[in-house]
Amino acid sequence: MEKKTIWHTMAAVDVRFLYIIIVIAIVIPLLNPIGLPLVFLDEVIDTVALMRSIPPGSLVYFGAECAAENSAELRPPAVAGARLMYELGHRIIIGGFWPDGCILVRQWLTPYFEEMGAVYGEDYVILGYRASVTSILDTARDNFILAFSDRDINGDRLSSMPVMAGLNKASDFAYCFVLSPGGPGTGTYTTAWRATGEVDLIIDVPTGSMYNSAGNNYQSGLTAGLIGGLNGGAQFEQLIGHPGEATRSMDAQSMGHFAIITFLVVGNIGYFQIRRMEEQEKEAIKSGGS
C-alpha cells in the first residue's frame, strides 16, 4: 500500500481552499493597508517629467481605450493622468474606439473634474465612441473635427467649443496618453499618428498583461512614456502627489502575489517530492523482484 505523506495530502487539497486563502490575502490588506514600500521605476518618473515639461494650454489626446474588465488597472492611472493634465493647464480631448471606453472614462473622471472645477467644453471634451478606428485616425491627420463628425459624446458641436481652439489636425497634440488593454490601443495610435510623424510623444498606459510588449515599445523609443498596470498606477499617483485607489490596492496585490508564489513553490516542491518517492518505490519493487 502506498505511504501517504504530507505532500500527498497537500496535492489532494480542495482547490476551493486555495481560493479562500487568496480572498483572505487580498481583503485584509484592502481593509487594513500595511503600507509596503513602493519601488519607483525610471519609466514612470520620466513619464511624469515629460508631462510636466509640456507648456500650459497645450492640447493633449486622452485615448479612452478600455472596457469594464480593465477598470481595476486602468481607472487609477486614468484619474491620475487627467488630474495632472488639468493641473498643468493642458486641454484634454478624450476619444476612444472601444464601445464602452468613453462612457467609462466619463464615469471615472467626471467626479474629479467637478471637484477640481474643470469645465466641460473649455478644459476638456469627450468625443464618444466611433467605429472604424483606422479611417477616423487617418482622417484626423488632416482634419480632426471632420474625422469626429464635429460632434462630441452628447451630440453637441465640437467646433463651437473653446477647448477645440487651435485643434485642426492630429499634429496639434503635444502628446497622447493612451490607455491600452489591447487593440485598439497604443499600437493603433503608433501606427496611425506616430509612424506618420503627426505625434511624437505617446504615453502608453497598458494593463499588466500587455506590459511585456509595452516595455519593448518603450525601450525601442516608439513610446515616450510608460505607466504599466496597477503598480505603475500606484507609482504615478504618488509621484503626482495624489495617492489613490492604486496606492491603496498595492498591498492587496503584493499579498495576493505572495500567496500565489507560495502555492507555486510549495506545489512544485510537493510535485518533485512525490515523484522522487514514486521512483524510489519503483526501484525498491524492481530490486525486490530481481
Partner 1 sequence: MAGVNVPTAIVDALTPWSTTIGVICLIGVWSMLYKENPFYRACEHAYVGSAAAHTLVTTYANTIKPGIQMNMAQNGDYWEIIPILLGCLIYFQPIRQYNWISRFPMAFWVGYNAGYSLTLRVAMPLFTEARRTMLPFFVITDGRFDLMTSINNIVFTGVVVLVLVYFIFSRNVIQGKGVFLNRWARIAIMICFGAGFGNGVANRVSLLIGRFNYVLSDWLKLY
In this chain, which stretch among 51-59, 165-173, 241-249, 265-273 interacts with partner 1, using CB under 8 A?
241-249
Give dist(CA 40, CA 247) in Å, integer.
Answer: 12
Give dist(CA 244, CA 233) in Å, integer.
Answer: 9
Backbone angles phi, psi at 8, to 5 degrees: -65, -40
At 218, is the secondary structure helix, strand, or coil? helix
The residue among 229 and 270 lying less far from partner 1, judged by its C-beta, is 229
129 scored as a contact of partner 1 (CB under 8 A): yes
User: Residues 87 to 106: which contact partner 1 by CB under 8 A?
Assistant: 99-100, 103
User: Residues 36 to 65: which contact partner 1 by CB under 8 A?
Assistant: none
CB of 260 to partner 1, least distance (A): 6
Whether 164 contacts 133, CB under 8 Å: no
Give dist(CA 69, CA 62) in Å, integer.
Answer: 19
Residue 247 is placed in which grid cell? 496606492
In this chain, which stretch among 40-48, 163-171, 207-215, 282-290 interacts with partner 1, using CB under 8 A?
207-215
Look at residues 124, 168, 120, 123 and name the one whose alpha carbon lies nearest to residue 146.
Answer: 168
191 scored as a contact of partner 1 (CB under 8 A): yes
289 scored as a contact of partner 1 (CB under 8 A): no
Give dist(CA 99, CA 79) in Å, integer.
Answer: 19
# residues contacting partner 1 (CB under 8 A): 54
**Host H or E run for residue 268:** helix 245-289
195 scored as a contact of partner 1 (CB under 8 A): yes
Residues of the shown chain interacting with partner 1 in the complex, contacts defined by CB under 8 A:
16, 19, 22, 26-27, 30-31, 69, 71-73, 99-100, 103, 128-131, 134, 149, 151, 153-155, 187, 190-192, 194-196, 207-212, 216-217, 219-222, 229-231, 245, 248-249, 252-253, 256-257, 260
